[in-house]
Amino acid sequence: MLAGLLLLRDKLGQSYVPAAVWPDSRRDLAYLTGAAERTLAERRGTVLGLDPGDTERIPSGTVHVGYPVETDAEVMGAVVLDLRTRPEPELQAVLRQLLWGAGWLEALLRKRQIARDAAVLERASIALDLVQAVQEHRNLGPAAMALVNELATLVKADRISLGVERNGKLELRAISRTAWFDRKSQLVETIENAMEEAIDQEAGVAWPVLPGPRGKVNVAQRDLAVRSGAAAVLTVPLVSGGRPMGALTLERNQGPEFDATSLMLCQVIAELLGPTLEIRLDGERWFAGRIVEKLAEWRDKLIGPRQPAIKLGAVLLLSAILFLVVAEGAFRVSARTFVEGAVQRAAVAPFDGYVRDAFVRAGDTVRQGEILATLDDRDLKLEQVKWETEKEQVARKYREALAKRDRAAYRVLAAQLSQAEAQLALIEEKLVRTQLVAPFDGVVVSGDLSQMLGAPVEKGKVLFELAPLDKYRVILTVDERDIAYVAGGQRGELALTGITGGTLPFVVKTVTSVSTAQEGRNFFRVEAQLENASARLRPGMEGVGKVSVDERPLIWIWTRNFVNWARISLWTWLP
> In this predicted structure, what is the pLDDT of residue 349?
83
Rounded CA separation 515/525 (Å): 6
User: Residue 220 CB: number of other CB atoms within 10 A?
Assistant: 23
Rounded CA separation 498/2 (Å): 115
Question: Measured between alpha carbons, how far is residue 471 from residues 89, 425, 508, 525, 540 in Å?
Answer: 132, 37, 16, 19, 13
User: Residue 212 CB: number of other CB atoms within 10 A?
Assistant: 10
CA neighbours within 13 Å on the CB side: how many for 512?
Answer: 12
Rounded CA separation 453/374 (Å): 10
Residue 452 — φ and ψ, nearest 5°?
-125, 20
- Whether the CA torsion 479, 481, 487, 492 is positive or negative: it is negative
- Note the helical H segments in 136-185: 140-155
> In this predicted structure, what is the pLDDT of residue 44?
85
Q: What is the pLDDT along the chain (575 residues), one digit of tens a residue?
A: 778 888 888 776 678 888 888 887 778 787 788 888 888 888 888 887 777 766 667 777 788 888 888 877 788 888 888 888 888 888 888 888 887 877 777 778 778 777 776 766 776 677 777 877 788 888 888 899 998 998 888 888 999 999 999 777 899 999 998 888 888 899 999 999 999 999 999 899 999 888 765 668 889 999 999 999 999 999 999 998 888 999 999 999 988 888 888 888 888 888 888 888 888 887 766 554 556 667 777 777 777 777 777 777 878 888 888 887 778 888 999 999 988 776 777 888 888 888 888 888 877 788 888 888 888 888 878 888 888 888 888 888 888 888 887 778 878 888 888 888 888 888 888 887 888 888 877 778 777 887 788 888 888 888 888 877 767 788 899 998 888 899 989 999 998 888 877 888 999 998 888 788 887 888 999 999 888 777 677 777 889 999 999 888 888 888 888 888 898 888 888 87
> In this predicted structure, what is the pLDDT of residue 293?
65
Q: Which helix (H) or strand (E) covers residue 386, if one does?
A: helix 378-403
DSSP-based three-state secondary structure for 178: strand
> In this predicted structure, what is the pLDDT of residue 327?
84
pTM of the model: 0.43
The pairing of strands 74-84 and 62-71 is antiparallel
> In this predicted structure, what is the pLDDT of residue 296?
72
Rounded CA separation 236/266 (Å): 7
Question: Measured between alpha carbons, how far is residue 318 from residues 211, 297, 304 in Å?
Answer: 62, 18, 18
Is-contact 8 16, C-beta < 8 A? Answer: yes
CA-atom Rg of the chain in angstroms: 54
